[in-house]
Structure 1
Amino acid sequence: MNSKRRLTILAGLSAMVFMLLAGRLVYVMAISRDEIYEKAMGQIVREVTVPAARGDLLDRNGSVIAASADAYRLDIDLKTFRRTLEAKERTAEYYAVPLASLLGETVEDILAIMNKTTSSSLVKRKMEKAQADTVRAWMNEAGTNFLILGYDSIRYYPNGPFLSHVIGTVGNDGDGTMGIEYLYNDLLRGVDGIKISEIDGKKQDLPYTEVVATPAVDGSDLVLTIDEKIQYAVENIAAETMESTKAKAVTIIVSDPKTGEILGMANLPEFDPTDPQLGLTSEEFSAVTRNRAVNDTYEPGSTLKMITMAAALSEGKVSLSDTFFCKGYTYVNGVKIRCAKHEGHGLQTLEEVFQNSCNPGVIEIAQRVGIKTLNEYIAKFHLGEKTGIDLPGEAKGIIKKTDDVTPLDLATISIGQTDTATPIQILGTLNTIANGGYYTTLHLVKETVPKNGAGERLDPVPYVEKRGEMVIEQDVNAELMKMLELVVEKGSGKNARIEGVRVIGKTGTAEKLDPSTGKYSEEDFIASFVGAAPADDPKISVYVAVDSPKDVVTGGAVAAPVAKKVFLEIMKHMDLSSDGN
């Protein structure tokens, strides 16, 4: 082959190589630029979430009820993991077995994460420092450049089950799942930040490289209306009551009737918000975590007579000079309705009917009022609707429609059966009377405070405020206050009487329906009491419900003494004496 031909072939080959290189350059720079750039950046750049600190929950005096502590999380870069397995000719089990042991997880669970088809996945959250250090040491030894150890936080509750039904709990994803933690989650959670940095082959940040970061915005602290001392007292009293009465459940609520602030709320049985499902079936979990104060409805019994009397007085259907005769029972449409005093109270004044919680007398009063008017007053006190309290899952209760009410229904509704209500609704009714006839929404959060003192304090608004609504006129309200005081001084609530303190209150004994028969049980009752003190200027209101107490079952015998204990405990921290001294 002559030199000229060789030059021609060489030139052709050179041109071909040049064209291939040019084509490749066009492909790289134009056609697949974004894809190649993404792959390259995926190997040299790491994006890490910087979790925001969740806001604390504090009592009204600044005591910590729930807080967050620093922790760690482990993520896996599945793209890099798959390349590592291929390059080193290893199986996923090679890494899954030791990692599962370090994390306290099953090998199957770790393999399920490693076999995902996504680009990345969470492996473990909320690791404490000791465990994270052990995992980090193994990662360095095993050369696991596909694992990323980052920052996280652990929610902890320093007082264990304390206030658990109000607080709720936080799930593994960092979001609230129940209670205040759930309802105010957006305020508490904050906004996570992002850190982007260049990394080397071992997934370590390169020195002297610029870090691009969006700082995390920490969640706000919430100051609750709860008073820690009062809460401890009511929880201890609830526990004593559960034991002494052998009840299925106990609910105690303490509030300021003027502001609607809840100072204490105890529900038993309780649960540990750190690990609420520990050792429980799903049915048991649902039962124990339910906040009976707002989630449960029941036929309230004689506490509803407050509304019956309010309607009768307001509409001029009764006067203080009226008298009523109780022979221990009355018939309505052929149905016999008994009084608690089976032998009867005999001749009574209007005030005595109320203080003795006399069923025949109240039924006669309700017949004068009529169901249309009675239902109007039931609605004025916000029964049959959500009160708007800042807790999730509030029940409305069931109020029978006026057009569907029979004469027998009117009788039973007036004494607290047939219709249903929540404990919060009954406490709201008493509070309205204790607050001069004005309704105020019960609530649990006092204010929002940005973390580290940055920014302005904010007023939270998740509860629906009904403040300053006049429900009953002042002259009627004054008479109701007098009647409620007589209940405690001389009537069914005398077991709540305290020397030197003027207490108002109303007892309730509600029959429970037997689900197996559909009829009222002769054994299961809810004994309740709702009251306030001091009568001349109520500062504290208390609601007590004891579900299915054994042996003694009436509100006056079971719940009124519990309320007295609560008042006496509160008096250690607050002056409730009638003269204010």
Structure 2
Amino acid sequence: MSNPSKHPRHSFRAAVLQRTLVAIAIFLIFFFGVLVYQLYALQLRDAELYRTEAVTQQLQDTELPATRGSIYSANGKLLAKSNTVWNIIANPKQSVTNGATTAQLQTAAEEIAALLNDGTTAEAVFNVLTATNSAGEPYEYRVLAKGVEKPVADAIIEYSMNYRTDPPAGEEQGYRIVVLTTEQTSTRSYPYGAFLSSVLGFCNADGSGAYGLEKSYDDVLSGTPGRSIAETNVNGEVLANAEADVYDAIDGNNLILTIDETVQGIVEEYLAEAMNTFTVHARGSAIVMDVKTGAILAMASLEQFDPNDPYTIYDEKMQAILDKEELDEEAIDWLNGRLGEKQVAAIVEDGKISQETTTDEEGNTVSSEYTQLQGMMREAQWKNKNITELYMPGSVFKLITASAGLDSGIMTAGQEFYCNGALTVDAGSIWEHTYHCANDKAHGLLNMADALNHSCNLWFIQAAETLRPAVFYDYIQAFGFTQITGIDLPNETRWTSVYNAEQMAEVDTNLYTAAFGQNEAITPLQMATAVAAVANGGYLVTPYVVDSITDIDGNVVQKTETNIRRQVISEEVSKQLLAMMEASVDPNGNTSDGYHSNKNAYVAGYRIGGKSGTAERTDRNFRYDGDYYKTMSFAAVLPVDDPEIEVFVVLDDPRWLRDYASEVVAPVVGNIISEIAPYLGIEQDPDYNPTGTVTVQTCLDYPWTSAQVTLNQLGLKHKLIGSSSGNIVYQYPYGGSKVPAGSTVYLYTNTDQDSMTTVPDVTGKSGSFAQQMLQAANLNVEFAGDSGGKVVAQSVEPDTSAPYGTIVTLTMDGGTETPTEETETPPEETETPAESAAQSGDSQPEA
């Protein structure tokens, strides 16, 4: 009998069963291994990750932005501030999850667009509410609106909270159809528009500083954001009874500037007027500086822009050119002056401005000529040309050559050289060049003071030759022309073009042209800082525009102190140069021949030292008349016996009947001084100050520039009614009239009819306050006897009409002036700094 256990069929079954059990065992081992691994990953390895994700889904973490600090003028005028606004954020994915229909979302879009009421269409809102990515999946985060005021934001959120689906079974309310949240943010505003714009700069869309002080002090102004963490339900809604954990933001600090808004307004006014009067094709810039500390009291650069909307082109002519499809020679010439010949030529090769994009050799998209030119125009209006662009100083640089000669001991003030009107150097070589003085004039034998007064190029060429390149270059370096000034503003160019000692030693013409400021390219601020060193006893200081940093409570966090980089020349040399500078300005001063080259900057009563500079732009092609384009600058310091301030102005490529800075820029500087010196409390020297009665000189048929110079020199103020481009056709008070010193003469270019004003009632007021009231009404004041006490009578009846400039004689009671709160409140300001700075043409400043 056979054994069943040995039957082949049973052996096969046993083998199959064994293999099956092994497979099951392997599967179970693998399954439990995966399960154990997953438990390990969930509970140990990735536990923190899952806990974080769970918390994230249950919590709403919102950033609380810090309020950006404000910027104030030296007098506390608010120049830049931040306003709290809200962004509206949509969650299209949650709307889909909540079962929102297309019709419901369209209804919501229409309602939200109506609530925004800012021009946003319902279609645009709908597109945000239904936005999907490239895979067709709805987004979780889309910005629906930016910069929304709180009442509007609250109304939109309230609408989204109440607009819901039908409640599911067993629920009290449905789900939100549009899931919206808000993010607190801020917008930056500049109350005075274009005023001081090249210094203030502006912010990017994200609130960070992009230009100017906003950029250089971004970390100081920005502050530190806070957070708000709140618990949410499954629909992403904050639980009604949950308290959020709030970590408050730390607001940014404030900047207090050295810039005085009144001084800045005066400077901007006169600079804009000069740009118009002299048809300046390139740039205009101006600086008022405390020569002892380096504090900048005013800094202007034209063109200007409104930082509230920095991307608009504000120069009407520039925008008109941009809008043309083809440019004529005049337009290209104008653009060359503003933007640079090479830069313009690279874009406008054929005189046409294309709006078509192109591709380069590598297939990259190249912006259209229109877009490139628009970008250059924006950049040009944003630039602070005092620090970002180079200019040729011309004869102002002769102060440096003279300083080097005196301080080195190689020369004395009595050093004489002969000028025969022309000097040829390197004859027969490729470097051959003939130098001339202005108008090819031969000045004869001159000492240093005469050479500065006559601005003799040939004298300074011989002086540089006497100095030798190594010594001359040592002083060029010492005055800071090979370094940045270190001002606390961004984008100060680190590139300058000055000949070094080797270059001046190898090529004579390099030395000679450097001696009188030709072919040297520096920034206006570098030149102004060097002139300040000449005036303040020889100390090179670091200029600055931020006086202090304060926190939100007004506590001073940081104070800027004067930084003396080094002493360049001795105090004795400084005094010698100041005396020479004054002799060229004061028409009554002592010079060898009675000539005063810079008298157009003179203002009666003030001891002013000055130096003009007219440089030929050798970096440009010849201009329309075959001559070089000219850059003109003028530096003035006062008072000479103890200098406090410097006024420095640059006009690049003026197109006027005169071609010299002493006739174009000097009057601008004089006008600025005539207003800011009394405002800043700079005392007039009694030996130079006209008192009592002054005879008005007739200014009829004078150009505006000549008329203002004439009146400045008489100690009279002036105000223009009309356009600065015409001649004077009428004035009041009339020529030959006797008026009190310091009175204002009103000059008209467009009409011979008086502007009229209403005479205020000043009886019972103190003398000083009555004078303020009458001057504010464009009237002149004369006191009958002592100005002390109260006004008991006025020569022109109150509330009557009188011409601008009418003299109102006040009779006083002879008592002691005792201001009271009731009677001595000054008249309210009628202009903002921006309005004052924007004036030109029909409304000009008093000087």
Which interval holds the TM-score relative to the shorter structure? 0.7 to 0.9
Q: In structure 2, give the amino acid aligned to 1:357.
A: S
Q: Residue in 1 aligned with 2:573?
A: 476
Q: Residue in 1 aligned with 2:378?
A: 285
- Is 2:149 the counterpart of 1:128? yes
Structure 2 vs 1, CA of residues 521 and 300 (structure 1 numbering), >3 Å: closer, same or farther?
farther
Q: Residue in 1 aligned with 2:63?
A: 49
Give the 5 Å matches for 1:173-572. 173-200=206-233, 203-248=236-281, 249-279=283-313, 281-334=374-427, 335-396=433-494, 397-405=496-504, 406-453=507-554, 457-459=557-559, 466-467=563-564, 469-489=566-586, 490-513=595-618, 515-516=620-621, 522-551=627-656, 552-572=658-678
Q: Residue in 1 aligned with 2:4?
A: none
Quote the Cα distance in structure 1 between the aligned partners of 2:389 and 2:104: 50
Q: In structure 2, give the amino acid aligned to 1:429.
A: A
CA contact (8 A) 1:502 1:577 kept: no
Quote the Cα distance in structure 1 between the aligned partners of 2:498 and 2:627: 24
2:681 to 568, 575, 579: 575
Structure 1 residue 241: Cα displacement: 0.9
Structure 1 residue 319: Cα displacement: 2.3
Structure 1 residue 266: Cα displacement: 0.9
* Identity, % of aligned positions: 31
- Is 2:184 the counterpart of 1:151? yes
Q: In structure 2, give the amino acid aligned to 1:307.
A: I
Q: Residue in 1 aligned with 2:95?
A: 84
String of CA shifts for 1:395-428, please: whole Å, max 9, x gaps. Answer: 2311222212210110001110122110101110
Q: In structure 1, give the amino acid aligned to 2:71.
A: L
Structural RMSD (CA)? 3.1
| Structure 2 SS opposite 1:247 | coil
Q: Residue in 1 aligned with 2:133?
A: 115
Quote the Cα distance in structure 2 between the aligned partners of 1:212 and 1:275: 37
Quote the Cα distance in structure 2 between the aligned partners of 1:110 and 1:92: 15
Quote the Cα distance in structure 1 between the aligned partners of 2:475 and 2:596: 25
Structure 2 vs 1, CA of residues 456 and 478 (structure 1 numbering), >3 Å: closer, same or farther?
closer
Q: In structure 2, give the amino acid aligned to 1:486.
A: A
Structure 1 residue 207: Cα displacement: 3.7
Structure 2 vs 1, CA of residues 298 and 32 (structure 1 numbering), >3 Å: closer, same or farther?
closer
String of CA shifts for 1:527-554, please: whole Å, max 9, x gaps. Answer: 1101111101112111000111112231
Structure 1 residue 456: Cα displacement: 5.1
Q: Which moved more, 1:554-563 or 1:398-407?
A: 398-407
CA contact (8 A) 1:225 1:444 kept: yes
Structure 2 vs 1, CA of residues 509 and 100 (structure 1 numbering), >3 Å: closer, same or farther?
farther
Structure 2 vs 1, CA of residues 413 and 193 (structure 1 numbering), >3 Å: closer, same or farther?
same
Question: Unmatched 5+ residue regions in structure 1?
Answer: 1-18
Structure 1 residue 40: Cα displacement: 4.2
Structure 2 vs 1, CA of residues 110 and 487 (structure 1 numbering), >3 Å: closer, same or farther?
farther
Q: Which moved more, 1:422-431 or 1:105-114?
A: 105-114
Q: In structure 2, give the amino acid aligned to 1:55.
A: G
Structure 1 residue 430: Cα displacement: 0.9
CA contact (8 A) 2:93 2:140 kept: no
Structure 1 residue 575: Cα displacement: 2.9
Structure 1 residue 147: Cα displacement: 2.7
Quote the Cα distance in structure 1 between the aligned partners of 2:568 and 2:47: 72
CA contact (8 A) 1:53 1:218 kept: yes
Q: In structure 2, give the amino acid aligned to 1:444.
A: V
Quote the Cα distance in structure 1 between the aligned partners of 2:181 and 2:478: 59
Q: In structure 1, give the amino acid aligned to 2:133.
A: N
String of CA shifts for 1:472-491, please: whole Å, max 9, x gaps. Answer: 01222211111111221243
| Structure 2 SS opposite 1:569 | helix
Q: In structure 2, give the amino acid aligned to 1:147.
A: L
TM-score where L is the length of structure 1:
0.87
Aligned residues: 554
Q: Residue in 1 aligned with 2:693?
A: none
Q: Residue in 2 aligned with 1:9?
A: none
Structure 2 vs 1, CA of residues 258 and 195 (structure 1 numbering), >3 Å: closer, same or farther?
same
Quote the Cα distance in structure 1 between the aligned partners of 2:684 and 2:425: 42
CA contact (8 A) 1:125 1:172 kept: no
String of CA shifts for 1:130-157, please: whole Å, max 9, x gaps. Answer: 5534543553437355432122111110
CA contact (8 A) 1:513 1:520 kept: no
Q: Which moved more, 1:225-234 or 1:89-98?
A: 89-98
**Relative contact order, higher structure (CA 8 A, sep 6+):** 1
Q: Which moved more, 1:92-101 or 1:333-342?
A: 92-101
Structure 1 residue 368: Cα displacement: 0.3
Structure 1 residue 42: Cα displacement: 3.6
Q: In structure 2, give the amino acid aligned to 1:158.
A: P
| Structure 2 SS opposite 1:88 | coil
CA contact (8 A) 1:238 1:250 kept: yes
Quote the Cα distance in structure 2 between the aligned partners of 1:328 and 1:516: 26
| Structure 2 SS opposite 1:542 | strand
Structure 1 residue 387: Cα displacement: 0.8
| Structure 2 SS opposite 1:337 | strand
String of CA shifts for 1:82-108, please: whole Å, max 9, x gaps. Answer: 243255376799579657885756849
CA contact (8 A) 1:72 1:151 kept: yes
| Structure 2 SS opposite 1:571 | helix
Q: Which moved more, 1:243-252 or 1:315-324?
A: 315-324
Structure 2 vs 1, CA of residues 192 and 331 (structure 1 numbering), >3 Å: closer, same or farther?
same
Q: In structure 2, give the amino acid aligned to 1:320.
A: A
String of CA shifts for 1:255-284, please: whole Å, max 9, x gaps. Answer: 110110000111111001111002572111
Structure 1 residue 215: Cα displacement: 1.1
Structure 2 vs 1, CA of residues 309 and 92 (structure 1 numbering), >3 Å: closer, same or farther?
farther
Structure 2 vs 1, CA of residues 198 and 501 (structure 1 numbering), >3 Å: closer, same or farther?
same
Q: In structure 1, give the amino acid aligned to 2:246.
A: A
Q: Residue in 2 aligned with 1:139?
A: 160
Structure 1 residue 457: Cα displacement: 2.4
Structure 2 vs 1, CA of residues 324 and 460 (structure 1 numbering), >3 Å: closer, same or farther?
closer
CA contact (8 A) 2:98 2:177 kept: no
Quote the Cα distance in structure 2 between the aligned partners of 1:205 and 1:563: 64
Quote the Cα distance in structure 1 between the aligned partners of 2:560 and 2:571: 31
Quote the Cα distance in structure 2 between the aligned partners of 1:434 and 1:144: 73
Quote the Cα distance in structure 1 between the aligned partners of 2:160 and 2:388: 48
Q: Which moved more, 1:166-175 or 1:326-335?
A: 326-335
Question: Unmatched 5+ residue regions in structure 2?
Answer: 1-31, 165-175, 314-318, 320-373, 428-432, 587-594, 690-847
Quote the Cα distance in structure 1 between the aligned partners of 2:128 and 2:377: 29
CA contact (8 A) 1:511 1:521 kept: no
| Structure 2 SS opposite 1:153 | strand
| Structure 2 SS opposite 1:546 | strand
Structure 1 residue 170: Cα displacement: 0.9
